[in-house]
Amino acid sequence: MTFLAVPGPFDFALSTERFRVFGVDFATAWHEGGLHRVIDGREVRIEASPGGVDVEPEADVRHLLGFPFDLEAFYDWARDDDVLRHVVVRLRGFRPPLMPEPFEMLVGSITAQQVSLFSATAIRNRMIERFGERHDVAWGFPTRDRLARAADGELVAVGFSRRKEEYVLGLARSDLDVDALRDLPDDEVRARIVALRGLGEWTAEWFLARHLARPHAWPWGDLALRKAVADLYGGLDVREARTRFHPFENLAAHYLLLAQRIP
Beta bridge partners of 36: 29, 45
pLDDT for 263 equals 80
Q: What's the rounded Cα separation, in Å, for the pair 8 and 74?
A: 13
Q: What's the rounded Cα separation, in Å, for the pair 225 and 211?
A: 18
Cβ neighbours of residue 224 closer than 8 Å, sequence gap 6 or more: 257, 260
Three-state SS across 52-112? Answer: EEEEECCCCCCCCCCCCCCHHHHHHHHCCCCCHHHHHHHCCCCCCCCCCCHHHHHHHHHHH
pLDDT digits (tens, 9 = 90+) for 75-113: 999 999 999 999 999 999 999 999 999 999 999 999 999
How large is the average pLDDT for residues 34-57?
Answer: 97
Q: Largest alpha-carbon pair distance within the chain? A: 54
Percent of the chain with pLDDT over 90: 98
Q: What is the mean pLDDT of the chain?
A: 96
pLDDT for 114 equals 87
Taking 90 as the threshold, does the pLDDT of residue 181 lie above it?
A: yes
- What topology is assigned to 69-91+211-263 in CATH? Endonuclease Iii, domain 2 (1.10.1670)
How buried is 16 (Cβ within 10 angstroms: 0-12 exposed, 13-18 middle, 19+ buried)?
buried
Taking 90 as the threshold, does the pLDDT of residue 188 lie above it?
A: yes
Return the sign of the alpha-carbon dihedral for residues 155, 160, 162, 164: negative
pLDDT for 134 equals 97
How large is the average pLDDT for residues 223-245?
Answer: 95
Q: How many CB atoms lie within 10 A of CB 51?
A: 11
Could you state, in order of their start, the residue ranges of all structural domains in the chain?
Answer: 2-67, 69-91+211-263, 102-207
Q: What's the rounded Cα separation, in Å, for the pair 221 and 71?
A: 24
pLDDT for 8 equals 87
Q: What's the rounded Cα separation, in Å, for the pair 244 and 240?
A: 8
Q: What's the rounded Cα separation, in Å, for the pair 107 and 131?
A: 13
Superfamily of domain 102-207: Hypothetical protein; domain 2 (1.10.340.30)
How large is the average pLDDT for residues 176-181?
Answer: 98
pLDDT grade for 50, boundaries at 50, 70 and 90 = very high
pLDDT grade for 51, boundaries at 50, 70 and 90 = very high
Q: What's the rounded Cα separation, in Å, for the pair 239 and 261?
A: 21
Taking 90 as the threshold, does the pLDDT of residue 149 lie above it?
A: yes
Please check whether the two domains, 69-91+211-263 and 102-207, share a CATH topology.
no
